[in-house]
Structure 1
Amino acid sequence: MTNPLLADWDTPFHIAPFDRISDDDFAPAFEEALSAHLREIDAIANNPEPPSFANTIEAMEGAGEALDKVLSVFFSVAGADSNPERQALQRDFSPKLAAHSSAIYANETLFARIADLWARRDRLGLSEEEARVLYLTHRGFVRAGAALEGAEAERMKAVKSRLAVLGTSFTQNLLKDEADWFMPLAEADLEGLPGFVVDAARAAGEALEQDGPVVTLSRSLIVPFLQFSPRRDLREKAFRAWAARGENGGETDNREIAAEVLALREERAKLLGYPDFAHFKLETEMAGTPERVRELLMQVWQPAKAQALRDQAEMEEMLRDDGVNDALQPWDWRYYAEKRRRASYDLDESELKPYLQLDRMIEAAFTCANRLFGLDFAPLDVPLYHPDCRAWEVKRNGEHLAVFIGDYFARASKRSGAWCSAMRSQAKRPRVETPVVINVCNFSKPSQGKPALLSYDDARTLFHEFGHALHQMLSDVEFGSVSGTSVARDFVELPSQLYEHWLEVPEVLEEFATHAETGAAMPKALLDKVLAAATFDMGFQTVEYVASALVDLEFHSGAAPADPMAKQAEVLQGIGMPQAITMRHATPHFAHVFAGDGYSSGYYSYMWSEVMDADAFAAFEEAGGAFDPETAHKLEEFILSKGGSREAEELYTAFRGRMPGVEALLKGRGLVA
């Protein structure tokens, strides 16, 4: 029988036929697709015709279709619905993929054709996008080590293969630590918790087949527990487990993996002639150099730290008022911050949460996309990889544009966090492809028969990931290698962070923030409090983020630390980290940095993008409102549709007329008077 992963997909919009695919299909399909891709690459490299853009670069763009299909399915399920079989396959695939990539980049005949085209680029009559794709292809080969020879070339292959293995191990260790830990709660332990937290704890207990409610390490459960539980001993136990992910000793400990990853990254950079990994990595980003990143982060650090320390002093008074003779600890911060919020704004999250129904927030995200870009969303009844997944067809002016899949609920088989990925990216050449885009989140699943309710942070996450999805779905370029989110890492978060602003548009909340039981709209008094509290506790949020970004940057600047935990402590001491706040992602569970190269030396990019997103939303406000059609058209024309077909700074300047400074970010975070 034909392997369903390799067959033609006779499904609506050629979505993967998940109902026909079993775990047994992945390995044989993977091996065949790898071989097919190498045959295609060899045919391109050994083409007897002189190199041209069409027979080399465009041909490379079209190669590997079978491999793309296999990997898009596999990595979707491996991240969102893992099991022991898929984890074993991932450990097997990672070094083979690294070797496959190395084999392509080390193909001297192929690189000679690319280098020949690069040398003649001004005489080829290329379009702007063709020239960009040639530039990125040539640069990618050089940065991958295509110009290395002999022992250095062999060592580069070995380094990249080992890094792939380590990234997979880091991820799987973290998933196991998160899946294995839970804290049973007796009925007395539920005292003081709002109903939605109790419901989430009971649902988590049901999912883990326990006799009663539990707290797990899912962010959507543990954060509200830390916010609302008056039991300081239970908060401490839960927080310590959350903070210790990847640092528990034994087989799942990630500390030695982190050290080896950093050493290998430094070696990789030096093989290519860079002083350290940060200089190598940042060369292709908007920031350009570690110095510019450090300057931005420190500009934000000082006002954020000052605000956090003022807030800490207030909360220590509250702690003493509760009869606790101790300094404020990390497991206390969220609990007393929630008390401060109620006191300062008369805002109680348990009062707010019934108005933030998952289905209504999805509808809000869709409606904003309709008003801004004319998109329509219709539910699709197609088999997907998990019963919790949902799909929609996306149209504009009656024409098919994309398929959007949402996978919103936390489960033990899903890695933590939230992300957007494209199972298929938009392209026009060498064949027309329409996008299939997935948003994956980790919201608490409700008990049977109850609506799913979100925290305000959850709702913001939903809008954030949908902003990434819009970047994929509105892509309108020729080649897949520059479509959608294929942009500089410190530009990729602009569309996602910008879209978060529409959640705070009063008319959006007025229409879609309706009570789960009564259907009533959020009262204006509550809405006003929500918007007034938008920058509440921003000192804490900024400090925990910037500390993580600075540690990441210093890990990769200069010599790799032999002991990353000691280096982490050194950096935090150097910047005067408040003792009551921890890094958002401590080293042993810093998946952004150690699960792969994506955000390594690049965790700062959220803040770099925020400088632009604050300024970009101001463009709408200056034009008369959040749904100004001319500004929305410019946003799509110059940013969302262009992908990586032009330099990021050029695209932003085309949209806004200039690059912004840090002032809008500080104002947006409430860190300036």
Structure 2
Amino acid sequence: MVFQSKAQSDKNASVTNLLLAEWTGPYGGVPAFDKVKIEDVKSAMLLGMDLNLKEIEAIANNSKSPNFKNTIEALEKAGEELDRAFTYYGILSSNMSTPEFRVIQTELAPLFSDFRSKITQNEKLFNRIKQVYQASLKKPLEADQQRVVELTYKEFEMNGAELDKIKKERYAAINKDLASLYTKFSNNVLHDEENYVTYLTQDQLGGLSDGFIKSAAKIATDKGRDGAYAITNTRSSIDAFLTYSTEREIRKQVWTNYYSRGDNNDDYDNKNIIAEILRLRRERVQLLGYKNYAEWRLQDRMAKTPEKAMALMEAVWPAAIARVAEEVKDMQAVADSDGDNITIEPWDYRFYAEKVRKLKYNLDSDEVKQYLQLDKLTEAMHYVAGRLFNYKFTRVPENSVPVFNEDVKVWEVTNIETGENVGLWYLDPYARKGKRSGAWATTYRSHTTFNGKKNVLASNNSNFVKPAPGDPLLVSWDDATTFFHEFGHALHFFSSNVKYPKLNGGVRDYTEFQSQLLERWLSTNEVIQNYLVHNKTGKPMPAELVAKIKNAATFNQGFSTTEYLGSAIMDMKFHLADPTNIDVDKFEKETLASLKMPKELPMRHRSPHFGHVFSGEGYATAYYGYMWADVLTSDASEAFANAPGGFYDKELAEKLVKYLFAPRNSIDPVEAYRLFMGRDAKIEALMRDRGFPIPTK
């Protein structure tokens, strides 16, 4: 009889559980997305955490003196099985959630929190990390190793590793409560997105395009409402409807459904959840000696302090709301001249803005849309990646790589010069039931070299409304810009040239910069002339239409800047305020009133559905980061515009990859930008981009 240790038994079990098993197949091994079963999830996550904790204990109890290899590098190696399981878990959560999965998610959320606390509060482990860190201050390691040590030490320190026993217990308990609240918040929003669908009849389709109508009919049929037309409660659906529908009362209903997600005073209302999240976040950071959550969170961001982040937003805010007043005046004039006898309301903004666009710039968004086919935009992004990064994208044969939905397509990414495989790019473009709203990028496997070279598996995910069979998917200019934006994140993943996993992370108000910068290539002549072709004639976008688009570049900047900044400022204000007895609805209204928020538009994300901030902590007190990154973007864009080769200047492109993309988080972002530009970024370029007056000091 052969006896096995508990650890060996667990290892063997991990091989048989699909979610934990090593990836096999081509391209360095790929996730078996086609074989994932809900019933395997909980056992996989529990076993994965158990395996990882055993690895942690082995590191913490190593009898040898701590050094980089046996402590920091050992931590970098730990948790491979759990990482693989989390890849599947992320897909089930974001791309194909079901009621059954949400039950498991709710059960696991506090357990994940406990698991993380057992690591960050492991005294023996932290003492080893601290010894390596302190030794490195006296005798620095190689640059990338030094960065990993500093980031690891800071992460543990920021998460309560130096607290006493009683405070550690409370810190862990708070994290556990927050994990459950984040899951509840997210699931409440998803519930309202799935259940507040507006159905139209044949006589309520005024202003809508044939493509939109066909798609809405297909969605209604799929939902068991044959003969009706469905407007789903997602941004991609409501944006087009609010822009073109002539049915004002239905516009109001669609607008209300969307902006009331999580705010319907029912079992899925998020206001009390937000209040509790704010209280717990404040209590947790006060255990660490910080005044408020924002002060704690921003210490390792580019902004460093909430005051600096607020200063940037406050510099732009007056110009933004002043521009809104001008835009509303123009829209009201159009409404009056049309004899509509209305006062502009939030559900009118997109509709009348489109009329003003046509009047001022003779620019019809629907005309522009005819040249924005998703397939051609995909080709355009690949072209840009080839010119700037030397990447070639080649579709892999159907069924050669497992996917989690038939709509997902996969490309192999190779280096044009060497032919070397860089990784795989997965594209999941369409909205579906169970998929969270918005657009995002993610990695299934990141580039590292310290434990054998790993290629990159990355994905882009969107929520475009699927066209009727045989029709091309036509998108708006804004949606095309977002498509390029998210691809910028993917290129950031693919271009990684770091040795250790820790360095693939990022500083939140910096990592949006790379993706925002890539948006600028959508409007380059090479893309316009070769990929923005009419969906019926195949002819490229005419020069006069291109000129109109460029002339209207600053059009509606009041709306887009104000709706974004309203959310970003609200995020910061919530976390600076005393949350003791906070009334979330009242606080939101009073804060917006004090800011003189224009009544004609809402924040991009009202608090009850602000998932960036309240379904986790990634963007909490960090939503300002998009604007911080946009300062860098505008500044760097001017450098490309003025380069000898323009946006495809070879020398500048090489610096772009070398200093801004490839290092990831291996060097401080401030230093990285200085290496690229030779100086710090300036706000003036941002104001010029938006057509705002440059503030005087």
Normalised TM-score (structure 2):
0.95
Task: Determine if contact 2:211/2:468 at 8 Å carries over to the other structure.
Answer: no
Contact 1:539–1:671 (8 Å) recurs in 2: no
The answer to whether structure 1 residue 598 and structure 2 residue 618 are counterparts is yes
Which 10-residue stretch deviates more, 52-61 or 17-26? 17-26
1:138 corresponds to: 153
For 2:33 and 2:561, locate their aligned partners in 1 and report how far apart those are by CA, in whole Å. Answer: 41
Say whether residues 1:534 and 2:553 are aligned partners: yes
**Distance (whole Å) between structure 2 residues aligned to residue 517 and residue 12 of structure 1:** 38
Aligned with 2:427: secondary structure? Answer: strand
Establish whether residue 156 from structure 1 lines up as the match of residue 156 from structure 2. Answer: no
Indicate the larger mover: 125-134 or 329-338.
Answer: 125-134
Which residue of structure 2 lines up, in the alignment, with residue 89 of structure 1?
Answer: 104
SS at match of 2:303: coil
Structure 2 counterpart SS, 1:250: coil
**Aligned 8 A contact 1:498 1:613 in 2:** yes
Matched with 1:362 is 378
| 2:62 partner amino acid | N
Of 239, 247, 269, the residue aligned with 1:253 is 269
Q: Which of 516, 531, 540 is equivalent to 2:535?
A: 516
* Match in the other structure for 2:474: 453
Correspondence 1:7 to 2:9: no
Of stretches 602-611 and 6-15 in structure 1, the one that deviates more from structure 2 is 6-15
Distance 2:685 2:177 in 1: 42
Give the number of equivalent residue pairs: 671
Aligned to 2:336: 320
For 2:183 and 2:548, the matched residues in 1 are separated by 44
- TM-fit CA distance, 1:171: 0.7
Secondary structure in structure 1 of the residue aligned to 2:647: coil
- Residue number among 602, 606, 618 corresponding to 1:586 in the alignment: 606
Deviation at 1:325, TM superposition (A): 3.7
Q: 2:498 aligns with which of 457, 474, 477?
A: 477
1:567 corresponding residue in structure 2: 587
1:408 aligned partner: 429
Aligned residues of 2:388 and 2:648 also touching (Cα < 8 A): yes
Unaligned runs of 5+ in 2: 1-14
Map 1:144-293 to 2 at 5 A.
144-211=159-226, 212-293=228-309
Question: Residue 85 of structure 1: SS of its match in structure 2?
Answer: helix
What amino acid maps onto 1:37 in structure 2? N
Match of 2:688 in 1: 667
SS at match of 2:414: strand
Whether contact under 8 Å (1:59, 1:430) holds in the other structure is: no
Q: CA RMSD in A?
A: 1.3
| Structure 1 residue 159 displacement after superposition | 0.6
Counterpart Cα distance in 2 of 1:264 and 1:577: 28
Q: Per-residue CA shift, 1:586-622, capped at 9, x if unaligned?
A: 0001111101001000110000000001111111122
Q: Secondary structure at the match of 1:413?
A: coil
SS of residue in 1 equivalent to 2:304: coil
Equivalent positions of 1:317-356 (< 5 A) are 317-356=333-372
Structure 1: distance between partners of 2:566 and 2:642: 33
Deviations 1:499-531 (A, max 9, x none): 000001122111101111221111221122122
Rounded to whole Å, the distance in 2 between the matches of 1:670 and 1:92 is: 50
Matched with 1:99 is 114
Letter in 2 for 1:151: I
Q: Is the 8 A contact 1:506 1:527 kept in 2?
A: no
Equivalent position SS for 2:424: strand
Letter in 2 for 1:172: N
Q: Deviations over 1:542-567 (max 9, x none)?
A: 11111111110010114226112211
Deviation of 1:638 (Å): 0.6
| 1:378 shift after superposition | 1.0
Secondary structure of the equivalent of 1:655?
Answer: helix
Question: What amino acid sits opposite 1:389 in the alignment?
Answer: V
The counterpart of 2:630, out of the listed 595, 606, 610, is 610
Whether the 8 Å CA contact 2:410–2:424 is kept in 1: the answer is: yes
Q: Distance in 1 between matches of 2:22 and 2:682?
A: 50
Q: Could you give the per-residue CA deviations for residues 449-481 of structure 1, whole angstroms, max 9, x where no partner exists?
A: 111111111111110000000111100001011
* 3-state SS of 1:81 partner: coil
SS at match of 1:355: coil
Give the match's secondary structure for 1:520: coil
Is 1:371 aligned with 2:387?
Answer: yes
Kindly indicate whether the alpha-carbon contact (under 8 Å) linking 2:211 and 2:471 is maintained by their aligned counterparts in 1.
no
1:35 CA displacement: 0.7
* 2:562 counterpart (528, 543, 547): 543
Alignment-mate amino acid for residue 594 of structure 2: G
Structure 1 Cα separation of the partners of residues 466 and 691 of structure 2 = 33
- For 1:11, give the aligned amino acid: G
Secondary structure of the 2:411 match is strand
Q: What residue is the counterpart of 1:311 in the other structure? A: 327
Deviation, structure 1 residue 124: 4.6
Measured in 2, the distance between the counterparts of 1:344 and 1:453 equals 24
Distance 2:345 2:137 in 1: 62
Offset of residue 122 of structure 1: 3.4
Q: Is the 8 A contact 1:196 1:350 kept in 2?
A: no
Distance in 1 (CA, whole Å) between partners of 2:78 and 2:156 is 16
Residues 491/59 of structure 1: CA separation in 2 closer, same or farther (3 Å cut): same
Letter in 2 for 1:405: Y
Query: For 2:462 and 2:26, how far apart are their aligned partners in 1?
Result: 24
Query: Structure 1 stretch 119-128 or stretch 260-269: which is displaced more?
Result: 119-128
1:488 aligns with 507
Q: Which residue of 2 aligns with 1:115?
A: 130
Q: Could you list the per-position Cα deviations for residues 55-74 of structure 1 after superposition, in whole angstroms to 9, with x for gaps in the alignment?
A: 00000000000000000111
SS of the residue corresponding to residue 626 of structure 1 reads helix
1:373-416 Cα offsets, whole Å, 9 max, x none, are: 11001112312111111111110021011111111111121111
Structure 1-normalised TM-score? 0.98
- Bigger mean CA deviation after superposition, 556-565 or 659-668: 556-565
For residues 252-306 of structure 1, what are the alpha-carbon distances to aligned partners after superposition, in whole Å with 9 as ceiling and x for unaligned? 1111111111111111110111000010011111001111111100111111111
Letter in 1 for 2:142: S
The secondary structure found in structure 2 opposite 1:327 is coil
8 Å CA contact 2:97–2:434 kept in 1: the answer is yes
User: Letter of the aligned partner of 1:580 in structure 2?
Assistant: E
Letter of the 2:521 counterpart? W
Deviation at 1:333, TM superposition (A): 0.5
The AA in structure 2 aligned to 1:637 is: K
Supply the distance in 2 between the matched residues of 1:207 and 1:619 (Cα, whole angstroms): 49
- The Cα shift of 1:209 comes to 2.9
Moved more, 473-482 or 206-215: 206-215
Superimposed CA distance per residue, residues 11-40 of structure 1 (whole angstroms, 9 cap, x where no aligned partner): 222110112221122122111111110010
The question of 1:76 aligning with 2:91 is answered yes
- Secondary structure at 1:12 match in 2: coil
Task: Give distance in 2, aligned partners of 1:114 and 1:310.
Answer: 57
The one-letter code matched in structure 1 to 2:214 is D
Question: Match of 2:540, as an amino acid?
Answer: A
Q: CA deviation at 1:123?
A: 4.4
